[in-house]
């Protein structure tokens, strides 16, 4: 039995040795790698339907990160400058992808669903500085109908309507940014 097991192992090795992988000729040739729907890729800071940021600067994501890859510095909103609908917003938001292990504990800790993970897996870059993603690179692109913050809250007559995400139509906002929007925005 022992000799047969060894030859069976060699058979598996020889079958997989000459199999083509998706990385051969990448990125010039071949199709893009399709990831699983729940793949943990690059992070994204989401927005409310009027363009305000969902991040309230609570720093729970930074506390939950086992690799200490997230740095958040919160600040207070004012009536003149409002970046999120709450009292506070994330003034500084950084993720160090040299440390990040893409575990997803940060998105589980986020109480406002401000932080999610996309399917973007191309995170390599040429310098260490470019691997630290700042808030401008992490923010979701503005969709049609959104306004660049700072501005007052635009949705609903009261806070309940606003936080349910109901625009004047009364229907939930189901818009999602396309991959082309993110690349055209220079992110």
* Residue 85 assigned ligand-binding role: no
Tokens of 177: 């940014």
Is 103 annotated to bind ligand?
Answer: yes
> 55 among the known binding-site residues?
yes
Q: Is 6 annotated as a binding residue?
A: no
Q: What is the largest CA-CA distance in the chain?
A: 79
Residue 75: strand pairing partners: 89
The answer on whether 24 is annotated among ligand-binding residues is no
Q: Which residue has the tokens 């086992």?
A: 66
Is 44 assigned a ligand-binding role in the annotation? Answer: no
Rounded alpha-carbon distances, angstroms, from residue 26 to 31, 37, 123, 124: 9, 22, 15, 14
One DSSP character per residue, 113-167 reads S-EEE-S------SSSGGGEEEHHHHBPPPPTT--PSS----S-SSHHHHHTT--
The DSSP string of 43-70 is EEE-B-TTS-BS-----HHHHH-TT--E
3 among annotated binding-site residues: no
Instruction: Name residues whose C-beta falls within 8 Å of residue 67's C-beta, 6 or more positions apart in sequence.
Output: 99, 100, 101, 103
Q: Is 58 annotated as a binding residue?
A: yes
What is each CA distance from 100 to 4, 85, 104, 112, 186, in whole angstroms? 44, 29, 10, 21, 22
Residues belonging to the binding site for [4Fe-4S] cluster are 55, 58, 61, 65, 100, 103, 106, 110
Residues belonging to the binding site are 55, 58, 61, 65, 100, 103, 106, 110
């Amino acid at each position: 039995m022992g000799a047969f097991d060894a030859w069976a192992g060699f058979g598996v090795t020889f079958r997989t040795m000459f199999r083509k992988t998706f990385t051969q000729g990448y990125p010039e040739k071949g199709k893009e790698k399709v990831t699983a729907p729940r793949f943990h890729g690059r992070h994204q800071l989401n927005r409310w339907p009027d363009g305000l940021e969902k991040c309230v600067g609570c720093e729970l994501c930074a506390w939950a990160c086992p690799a200490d890859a997230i740095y958040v510095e919160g600040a207070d909103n004012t009536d003149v400058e409002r970046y999120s609908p709450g009292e506070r917003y994330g003034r500084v938001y950084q993720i160090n992808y040299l440390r990040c292990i893409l575990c997803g504990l940060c998105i589980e800790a986020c109480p406002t669903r401000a932080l999610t993970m996309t399917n973007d897996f191309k995170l390599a870059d040429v310098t260490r500085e470019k691997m630290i993603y700042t808030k401008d690179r992490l923010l979701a692109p503005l969709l049609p109908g959104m306004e660049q913050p700072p501005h007052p809250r635009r949705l609903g007559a009261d806070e309940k309507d606003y936080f349910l995400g109901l625009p004047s139509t009364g229907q939930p906002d189901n818009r999602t940014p396309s991959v082309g929007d993110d690349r055209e925005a220079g992110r």
